[in-house]
Amino acid sequence: MTFSDDFNEHVDRVGTNCTKWDKMEALFGVPAEGGLAMWTADSDFPTAPCVREVLRKAADHGVFGYSWDHPDYLNAVVWWMKNRHGWQIEPDWVLTSQGLGNAIALSLDVWSNPGDGIVIFSPVYHEFAMKINRAGRKVVECPLKRDGDTYALDLEDAQARLTGAEKILIWCSPQNPSGRVWTPEELRQVAEFARRNDLLLISDEIHHDLVYPGSTFVPMDVAAPEARPCLVTLTAASKTFNVAGQRTGNMIIADPDLRAAMRHRLKTLDYGPGMLGVEMITAAYSPEGAAWVDAQIAHLAENRRIFDTGINAIPGLHSLPLAATYLAWVDFSDTGMTHDEIAARIRDDAKIAASPGPSFGTGGESFMRFNLATSRDRVVEAVKRMQAAFGDLQ
Ligand SMILES: Cc1ncc(COP(=O)(O)O)c(C=O)c1O
């Protein structure tokens, strides 16, 4: 089966109540008519045929009564982790949340108290800090070290920022926004840092499937199995299969006590996954789904090449090479412009909605993030618009 055309199909999302296109004018001042939505991390791709098929069958069946996270679903998650990531898990390690934003909020609730410090390594997915603040916990931001085209850990600096009042470390792997894939040695160092500081380690691995040839993603649990007593891994099909709207994610927890605590909280809240999300993920985590993901990665790799070549041809702009994710991280520091000037040109001249780097915390000040998970012609158009918007730098 070939899927390559699926990724270039223009599905009109405007007017479907999708956040990315229908909220872009209100949030970014870029109208959908004539604008390009390159901000929030969902793709413009229709999901895999095997996932759409299961929804068609459900619609034809027409009965949507009570269901649960049944063994076929749990076994599909187990199969995916084993076959795609070399990670052997057990079905009963898998708990289901309403997506990973929800899993992070639940974890803060279960394993920390108001006022506790929560460690993050910035620049990082902006919602980590927002969720920590909303929950009345304290963000303890430890900047990553810029190392040429990439980022490195600075655990000595991080150690100096801790006061002993920290309870949790939220780790992002692969890293959003830098697209960094961490090595097993780096992961072991992070696990050891968490152990040394008595921190629960939440490893958010939502971007683990979208890794480019030449890089290998390793789950934290595989790199540092010794961390299991304090490790909660978060995974989801939402980015991989563009099914984020189903709000279904997984918390994979090997440790029985940690698992029991989260299971209890889910019961207390009477939380259970929706039937359609469960069926979609069961269908996605299959050999058919895997073949579709491989085709998607090939499409994204070419989008990344075109975008990087075009952006890096503009003096002063530098798109960092992504090892994973469809989120290009572009440094504007050599333009000498303020963030407001850069954002205005992208919004008003290029008519692109892109995510502002400063929202990702320390280290993101001179950056903008562009979502490349769209058709090839839209990426080509975005490059053209950026070259025109920053044409005076040529
Ligand atoms: C690192 C990371 N974690 C979590 C999420 C949100 O996941 P969900 O849509 O499952 O709430 C995102 C979305 O961009 C993300 O990049």
Q: How many domains does the chain have?
A: 2
Query: Do 262 and 183 reside in the same domain of the chain?
Result: yes
- What confidence tens digit (pLDDT) does each residue in 48-61 have? 999 999 999 999 99
Q: At which of 286, 304, 338 does a domain end?
A: 286
- What confidence tens digit (pLDDT) does each residue in 73-98 have? 999 999 999 999 999 999 999 999 99
Ligand 1 pocket member 204 (CB < 6 A): yes
Query: Do 251 and 219 reside in the same domain of the chain?
Result: yes
Tell me which amino acid residue 292 is.
W
Query: Do 42 and 66 reside in the same domain of the chain?
Result: no
Q: The CATH number of the domain where 220 resides is what?
A: 3.40.640.10
Most informative mutation of 134, 220, 239 for ligand 1 (most atoms within 8 A of CB): 239
Query: Do 16 and 161 reside in the same domain of the chain?
Result: no
- What confidence tens digit (pLDDT) does each residue in 266-311 have? 999 999 999 999 999 999 999 999 999 999 999 999 999 999 999 9
Total-model pTM: 0.97
Query: Do 262 and 133 reside in the same domain of the chain?
Result: yes
Q: The CATH number of the domain where 297 resides is what?
A: 3.90.1150.10
Structural domain boundaries enclosing 69? 53-286
Query: Do 296 and 356 reside in the same domain of the chain?
Result: yes
Ligand 1 pocket member 100 (CB < 6 A): yes
- Distance, CA 336 to ligand 1 centroid (Å)? 32
pLDDT at position 1, please? 56
pLDDT surpasses 80 at 363: yes
DSSP string, 165-227: -EEEEEEESS-TTT-----HHHHHHHHHHHHHTT-EEEEE-TTTT-B-TT-----HHHH-GGG
Q: At which of 286, 304, 332 does a domain end?
A: 286
Query: Do 261 and 189 reside in the same domain of the chain?
Result: yes
Q: At which of 262, 286, 310 does a domain end?
A: 286
Across all residues in the chain, what is the average pLDDT?
97
pLDDT surpasses 70 at 28: yes
Residue 285: count of CB within 10 angstroms of its CB:
25
- The first and second tokens of residue 241, run together, are 């299969």
Query: Do 108 and 69 reside in the same domain of the chain?
Result: yes
Most informative mutation of 125, 182, 209, 232 for ligand 1 (most atoms within 8 A of CB): 125
Q: Are 368 and 356 in contact (CB under 8 A)?
A: yes
Query: Do 320 and 373 reside in the same domain of the chain?
Result: yes
Query: Do 37 and 88 reside in the same domain of the chain?
Result: no
DSSP letter (8 states) at residue 348: I
- What confidence tens digit (pLDDT) does each residue in 157-198 have? 999 999 999 999 999 999 999 999 999 999 999 999 999 999
Ligand 1 pocket member 173 (CB < 6 A): no
Query: Do 76 and 171 reside in the same domain of the chain?
Result: yes
Query: Do 202 and 162 reside in the same domain of the chain?
Result: yes
Q: What angle do CA 235, 227, 78 make, to 5 degrees?
A: 35
C-alpha to C-alpha distance for 151 and 143, rounded to whole angstroms = 10
